[in-house]
Each structure stands twice: as C-alpha cells, then as structure tokens.
Amino acid sequence: MPRYKLTLEYDGAPFVGWQRQTNGLSVQEVIETALNALCGERVAIRGAGRTDTGVHAMGQVAHADLGKDWRSDVLRDGLNAHMRPHPVAILAAERVSEDFDARVSAVRRHYLYRIINRRAPLTVGRGHAWLVKRKLDAGAMQAAARHLVGRHDFSTFRGSECQADSPVRTLERLDVMRTGEEIQISVSARSFLHTQVRAIAGSLEHVGSGKWSAADLRAALDARDRRRCGMVAPPEGLYLMSVDYEPHAPPAPR
C-alpha cells in the first residue's frame, strides 16, 4: 500500500485544532473527508504536530496510506478541489517509503509567534496575530530569550493537559526580531510540550513590557512550576512553519 507525504497549510481560525474531536470540525477531518471522496476508501492520516484551536500552519506534514498509486500533482490537486471552501491547502504530495512517519520521523519543528505591537486594532491581521498595545522592547525580549535556549526542564511552560512523559526539552533556537509594528518570535526544537511556545511568548511579552526582567524569566524557568509562567499567549499568533526530516531514500519501484 503506497504511502504519501502531504505538506499543507491552513488557517486555524475556523477549526478546533488539527486532531479529530467531537466538539467541532478539525483540520484532520477535512483532509480525511477529502481523501475518502477522492480515493473512494476510508483513509486515516497522521500529522507531525497536533496544533490547537486557532493555531495556523504554513508547513504542517502528514502521511497517508492509499490503496493505489497516484501521480503527485493529481493527488495534490484532487484533494484541494475536494477541500473547498475550507481554508486548507495541500502544497505538495510525495510518494515516500513505508517507514516514513510524519510524527516519529521528524527531527525538528519550527514555529513562529507573531505579535503586532501598536495601539490601533487589527483589521486584516485579526485572528492571525496577537495585538499588544503597550510598547514592547524586542531587544530586551531577545536578551532574555537566551536563558531558554538549550536543554532544560520546561515544567513552568508546560500546559496542564500535556501528556508528554518528560518536561525536558532542548530548544535549538529562540529568536526575537522586530520589523516595524511586528515582533516575531521564532523557535525550533525536535519536539515541544503542550502550549510551550505560547507560554514562552507570553512570558517574553512580560519582559518586553518591563513587567519582568531577564532574571525573572530565568527564575521562572528554574522554578519548574507552571504557576510561575507569565501567561499563555493567545493561539491566533502561532504558526507551525515547517518540519524537518532526514533525507530518505525513494520508495522501491512497484
């Protein structure tokens, strides 16, 4: 049974998240429904990351096992046609080997958190960034962010519903950059705890506004206590940008 890697983007605003749930429409359900309609069979997909309600993706990855061989462009275009008018798009479909797993095979995930720092309300950016009206010092946020890079116990920034076996994670990158009114927080790691990126973004906002110092952020990390987290930033500013994999051999000819 051929396996396909699907790279996709979506606007998370109308969905209850990536994973199928009983309380509303998920991104997974939209894609599986389209696969079932296109292929004439019930198909389950597995994603690289379970984004929460309202979280967006520019480079989510999933895999699916299909009952026949498909040309990559035909599969991509057919799925996109069946997913209309939902704001989900397959960017690429690729035949991969049977040992490829969108979640387990991932070696790095990249997230972006967007803050619009201005007094005026959002218009075109509404639902796609966090509006913070008080002035933020991006330089102070960047300096404080260095305390979180590396391998740490991130219990302070771990959601109460997190099911991970360990709170220890290694942040390979955490950068804060301002361009005009927008502050972007870019973070990369092999894996993340539930709400970890949003909790880090919210705590960095405290630093940027002057409520916390860099030492306060470090103390919160060292406390290993989620009650010491500054706040959890809203989901609409978070984007799963891309997922990295080791180079893999093409599937054997059938």
d(C-alpha 193, C-alpha 169), whole Å: 8
Given 11, 52, 137, 165, the catalytic residue: 52
Q: Which of 104, 137, 165 is the last residue of a domain?
A: 104
pTM comes to 0.94
Same-domain check for residues 87 and 202: no
Rounded-to-10 torsion of CA 239, 188, 64, 92 = 70
User: From CA 170, how far away is CA 250, in angstroms rounded?
Assistant: 30
Q: What is the pLDDT of residues 31-83, one digit of tens each?
A: 999 999 999 989 999 999 889 999 999 999 999 999 989 999 999 999 999 99
Number of domains in the chain: 2
**Single-letter code of the amino acid located at 25:** L
Identify the residue with better confidence: 172 or 230: 172
Cis peptide leading into 85, omega within 30 of 0?
yes
Last residue of a domain, one of 62, 83, 104: 104
Give me the phi and psi of 108, to 5 degrees please.
Answer: -165, 140
Greater confidence (220 vs 1) lies with 220
Annotated catalytic, 52?
A: yes
Say how far apart CA 27 and CA 108 lie, in whole Å: 22
Domain end residue (candidates: 104, 128, 151): 104
254 occurs within a structural domain: no
Q: CA-CA distance, 10 to 88, in Å (whole number)?
A: 4
> DSSP 3-state helix, strand, coil percentages of the chain (rounded to 5)?
25, 30, 40
Domain hosting 191: range is 107-241
